[in-house]
Homo-oligomer: A and B are copies of this chain.
Amino acid sequence: MDPSVSIFGDWGTSRLRLYLRQGKSVLDRRDGPGVSALTQSPERTFLDLIGDWREAQPSGAILCGMVGSRIGWAEAAYAPCPATAGDLRERVLKIEADGLPVSIIPGLSCINPLGGPDVMRGEETQILGALELDPALKQGRHLLVLPGTHSKWTVVQDGAITGFLTAPVGETFALLRQHSTLAAGVGADVQGSPEGFAMGLARITEKGPAVLSHLLFETRARQLLDALPAADAMGFLSGLLIGADAAAARQWFGDLWRVTLVGAPALNDFYGRAIAAHGGRTVAVDGDSAVLAGLSVLSPQNNSEFHVLA
C-alpha cells in the first residue's frame, strides 16, 4: 500500500468533484451529483464513484463542502473563527465507508463585520489552499474574496481566518436571470456581454449600492424603452449586483483594499473590474487549484503548513 495515494473531494450543493491523488499529482478525476441532487445515499454514491480507485489502495478520502452539512453525509459542526489549518484539522469529522477512512472538513462560523452571524462551508478549504499557493498571504492581514453563488469576503491574519462577510450575489443573479421579468423574453443561452457589465458597474458605482433594488429595474426599462440588446441587459444586471457587492465591501474592508480573488477565472475577472472601479487592486488565484491545495493541507497526515512557516 502506497500511503501517498488518497482521494480528495469537493462536494457542494450542486456538484461533486473527486480526485485520485498521489503526492501532488492528480491521477484521475470523476464528477458526481451535489448533495441536493442525490438519488441514493451519500455513502453509496461515493463508493460507486470511486469504484476501481480502491485498487490503488488509497489511504483515505478527505471531503469539503456541503457534504458536511445537515443535508449532506454527516454533519461536521461549524468551527468558530479565528481558525487556522491546524484548528480545522483537529476538528475534522472522521467516518468510514466500506473500510475506507473518510475525513469531512467542518465549515466555519463567525460574527461578521455587520455584527450578524455568518457561515461558510467549503470556502474555508479554498482559502487555506490559497494561502498555500501564495505563502506571502500567511504573514500579516489580508482580504480575500471568493466570488460565486455566495460571495465570501474573508479576512486572514497570520494564517488564521479571522472573519468573513457573505452576500448571495451569484444566487440572486441566477434567480433573476432565470425567473424574473428583468430577463423576460431573454433566451436561456444568452450570456451577459462585457459592455453590459461595464454599463451596470458604472451605474451602481455612480449611484451607490443603496439603490441596488431601484437600479435593478433599469435592466427591464432599458430593454423596453432603449431597445437594449438582451446580452447587454444580462451583463448590466451582473454589473449591478457585483458592483453593489464590491461597493459595500469597500466600506467595511477599505483598509485591506488589495484583494486576492479565489474563484473561477471568469468570475475573478468580473470581481477584479468591480474592485478596480472602487480604486482597489487584485490578484487572482484559480478556485479549483485552491481547493486541491486546501484539501492537501487539511489532510490528516499533512503538516506542510508548518514546513512553509518553518
Contacts and interface: CB of A to CB of B under 8 A. Distances in A.
A81 interface: no
A214 B244 CA distance: 10
A48 to B, nearest CB: 26
Nearest to A149: B181
Contacts of A225: 78, 109, 117, 119
A45 interface: no
A213 B204 CA distance: 14
Interface in A128-174: 149-150, 165-169, 171-172
Contacts of A167: 213-214, 216-217
Interface string A195-211: 00000000100011111
Contacts of A168: 180-182, 213, 216-217, 220
A172 B211 CA distance: 14
A212 B212 contact: yes
Contact of A213 (B217, B222, B245): B245
A224 interface: yes
Nearest to A250: B210
A222 B171 contact: no
Nearest to A121: B224
B171 A181 contact: yes
Given A211-B248, A247-B210, A248-B210, A226 B117 contact: yes
Interface string A244-263: 11011001000000000000
A213 B118 CA distance: 13
Contacts of A166: 214, 217, 221
A118 B224 CA distance: 9
Contacts of A218: 114, 116-118
B247 A203 contact: no
Interface string A165-195: 1111101100110011110100000000000
A218 B150 CA distance: 12
A217 B181 contact: no
10 contacts: A112-B214, A117-B224, A117-B226, A118-B221, A119-B225, A168-B180, A168-B182, A208-B210, A210-B251, A214-B248
Complex A-B, nearest 4 residue pairs according to Cβ-Cβ distance, in ascending order: A167-B213, A166-B217, A209-B210, A117-B221
Given A172-B180, A213-B241, 9 more contacts: A78-B224, A112-B214, A116-B218, A118-B218, A166-B221, A175-B179, A212-B213, A214-B245, A214-B248
